[in-house]
Amino acid sequence: MDQSQDAIDQAAAAAKARFEAMAHDAMARAERDRELAAKVQAMTATVSSRRGEATVVVDHGGRVTDLRISDRGMELSADDLSRVLLETIRQAGATVGQSVGNAVRESWGDDSPETARTVSSYDVFGAAPGGDTAGSSDGDGRFPWNIRGRS
C-alpha cells in the first residue's frame, strides 16, 4: 500500500508541476501580450507628401490624428489636394500597419494564427507604392502629386 501511495503522490506532484509550469507560461504570455498591446496603442506614423503639400499623422488604427496642409498644398486645386491627402493618409496607414505587423511578428512569431489575423487586418491600407513612404523623394510617377506633368 505504501508503494501505491508513493506512486499516487509522485503522479500528483508531477501533475501539479505541469499545471504550475502551464500557469507560469500563461502568465508570462499574458504579460508579453499586455506589453505588446501598450506598444501598439502608442504607435503612430507621420508621413509627408512627396512635395511637402501635406503631413498626416495616424494612430495605430489608421485614424488621422493630425493633418497639416502647407502653403504649397494650398496652391493645388481642390481635386489635386484631395488626391494628395488621400494618398498621404493611405501611406501613413500602411506605414503604421507595417510597424504593428513587425511588433506582432516579433512578439508572437511568423507562424502564429494571431499574427496572420492581426497583420491581415491592416491590409486595408495597402502597401506603399514600391515600399516607399510618401515622404520619399524618388517617386515613380504613380503618386497623385505627379499629376498634370508637375515636377
Per-residue pLDDT of the chain (151 residues; tens, 9 = 90+): 688 889 899 999 999 999 999 999 999 989 988 999 999 999 999 999 999 999 999 999 889 999 999 999 999 999 999 999 999 999 999 999 999 999 999 988 989 888 888 888 877 666 544 444 333 333 333 333 233 333 3
Q: How far apart are the first and last CA of the chain?
A: 92
Q: What is the pLDDT of residue 151?
A: 36
Quote the crossing angle between the two packed helices 78-108 and 2-41, to the nearest 10°.
Answer: 160
Q: Give, in degrees to the nearest 5, the angle at Cα 100 between 142 and 105.
A: 115
CA atoms within 13 A on the CB side of 37: 7
